[in-house]
């Protein structure tokens, strides 16, 4: 079964990596809906994993909690009058998470498979970005219509005169996040299994070249969220490597304390700004002490979130009949583009998304992250898988819609699967 699951995951990833050309050419042929058949690949793994759970009557508490939140979100969404299609569209978003989680935890898809993905996929993704930089690709900015909705096969735009290159994928940030996810998964696995030093020279050289290629690919996407997160990740990675390489107790204690401060900094970076700027009447003119060119280049998208996206997102709570439980699944983000366009808000923050979806159920989630960070014990080596998930939520999730990112949900499913697998 493990080999079959690997083939299914590879087929899905192939269609995801080449999503733009597939959508474009299927649209030309008049069958754009066929692109959605790749969802069936994930559903096969999820259905099989669900049967496994029902037979064993065993389910990890964290996964159970996520499912309960989804059920509550579904019920609240229906009570609040959201369209059933809108809610189901939102549930569809979680498929990569559950598929990769089941693949790792129940079907033994192991580190060798993710080594293969790292070495094989990154050069292909970067090739697409380079071609996009050199040429006008046929699918650039193409659209098609399905079920009365206009759908973008490829999202092309410029920011301050800089092209947002997507390559073979639908958007620049999709390429950036997939490259980042593959790199993070690979280096977390490196750290856990202590295998980097055991590799032969040729593999080390090739893996290093792939890393450089991945970094160059992320650079080409111009995704500042990915820039920040991948830099923060390698700071985290260095701390982990130093922690596991030294033997004297005082040094390990110091690194572990510093590591917790680092993680708390990332947590607050994602948690405080969206709510602070919505509560405090901040004046944009206070930023004029910084040159406008620098603002436009580095901070324009962040300032747009601060003064528009996040405050407008919180206003959505006023539209809910039961704001204590949020708007429910589909109440924010991509589903709104198709079913609630007049209220559409991208969220662009993990905690904003959870608050609007689940309301004040966000409080136990925040408490969980704080407690897990404060009581993190790196001596228990498996904890680095959990660190990888929390790091990704805190860093990427600070300025993008983490929950709707197939790439980062894949990462979370893989690392949580490895965490619980090693807990057995």
Give 162's strand partners.
Answer: 159
Distance of alpha carbon 1 from alpha carbon 356, whole angstroms = 39
Q: How far is CA 408 from CA 63, 77, 161, 412, in A?
A: 16, 24, 28, 6
Residue ranges making up the domain that contains 159: 2-423
Mean pLDDT of the chain: 89
pLDDT tens for each residue of 228-251: 999 999 999 999 999 998 888 889
Question: Can you give the pTM of this predicted structure?
Answer: 0.92
Distance of alpha carbon 393 from alpha carbon 388, whole angstroms = 9
CB contact set of 357 (below 8 Å; sequence gap of 6+): 73, 326, 327, 328, 329, 331, 332
pLDDT tens for each residue of 244-274: 988 888 899 999 999 999 999 999 999 999 9
Cβ neighbours of 187 (radius 10 Å)? 21
Task: Pull the structure tokens for residue 44.
Answer: 């096969």
Tokens 């159920």 found at: 361
Structural contact between residues 342 and 305, judged by C-beta atoms closer than 8 angstroms? no
Task: Pull the structure tokens for residue 379.
Answer: 């001596």
Cβ neighbours of 147 (radius 10 Å)? 9
Phi, psi at residue 283, to the nearest 5°?
-100, 125
Identify the CA nearest to 163 among candidates 179, 139, 140, 138.
140
pLDDT tens for each residue of 292-333: 555 565 677 888 888 889 999 988 888 766 678 899 999 999
- Provide the residue count of the chain: 424
- What are the strands, taking DSSP E only, across 203-357? none
State the total domains in the chain.
1
Q: Which helix (H) or strand (E) holds 216?
A: helix 201-221
**Residue 329 half-sphere exposure toward CB, CA atoms < 13 A:** 24
Structural contact between residues 177 and 232, judged by C-beta atoms closer than 8 angstroms? no
């Amino acid at each position: 079964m493990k080999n079959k699951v690997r083939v299914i995951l590879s087929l899905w990833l192939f269609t995801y990596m080449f999503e733009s050309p597939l959508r474009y050419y299927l649209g030309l042929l008049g069958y754009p809906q066929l692109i959605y058949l790749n969802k069936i690949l994930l559903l096969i793994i999820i259905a099989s994993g669900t049967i496994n759970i029902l037979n064993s009557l065993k389910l990890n508490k964290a996964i159970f909690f996520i499912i309960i939140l989804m059920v509550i979100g579904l019920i609240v969404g229906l009570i609040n009058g959201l369209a059933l299609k809108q809610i189901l569209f939102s549930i569809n978003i979680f498929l990569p998470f559950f598929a990769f989680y089941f693949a790792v935890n129940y079907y033994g898809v192991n580190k060798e498979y993710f080594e293969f993905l790292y070495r094989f996929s990154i050069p292909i993704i970067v090739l697409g970005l380079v071609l996009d930089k050199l040429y006008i690709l046929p699918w650039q900015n193409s659209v098609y219509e399905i079920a009365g909705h206009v759908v973008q096969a490829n999202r092309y735009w410029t920011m301050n005169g800089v092209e947002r290159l997507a390559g073979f994928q639908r958007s620049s940030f999709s390429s950036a996040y997939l490259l980042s996810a593959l790199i993070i998964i690979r280096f977390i696995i490196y750290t856990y299994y202590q295998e980097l030093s055991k590799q032969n020279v040729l593999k080390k050289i090739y893996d290093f070249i792939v890393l450089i290629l991945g970094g160059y690919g992320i650079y080409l996407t111009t995704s500042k969220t990915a820039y920040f997160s991948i830099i923060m990740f390698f700071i985290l990675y260095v701390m982990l490597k130093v922690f596991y390489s030294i033997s004297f107790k005082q040094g390990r204690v110091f690194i572990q304390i510093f590591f917790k401060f680092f993680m708390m900094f990332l947590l607050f970076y994602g948690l405080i700004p969206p709510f602070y700027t919505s509560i405090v009447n901040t004046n944009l003119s206070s930023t004029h002490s910084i040159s406008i060119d620098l603002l436009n280049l580095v901070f324009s998208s962040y300032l747009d979130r601060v003064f528009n996206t996040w405050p407008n997102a919180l206003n959505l709570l006023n539209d809910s009949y039961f704001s204590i439980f949020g708007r429910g699944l589909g109440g924010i983000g991509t589903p709104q583009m198709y079913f609630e366009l007049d209220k559409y808000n991208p969220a662009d923050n993990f905690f904003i998304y959870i608050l609007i979806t689940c309301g004040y159920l966000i409080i136990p989630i925040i408490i969980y992250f704080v407690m897990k960070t404060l009581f993190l014990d790196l001596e228990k080596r498996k904890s680095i898988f959990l660190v990888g998930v929390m790091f990704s939520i805190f860093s990427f999730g600070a300025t993008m819609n983490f929950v709707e990112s197939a790439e980062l949900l894949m990462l979370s499913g893989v690392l949580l699967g490895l965490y619980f697998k090693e807990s057995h």
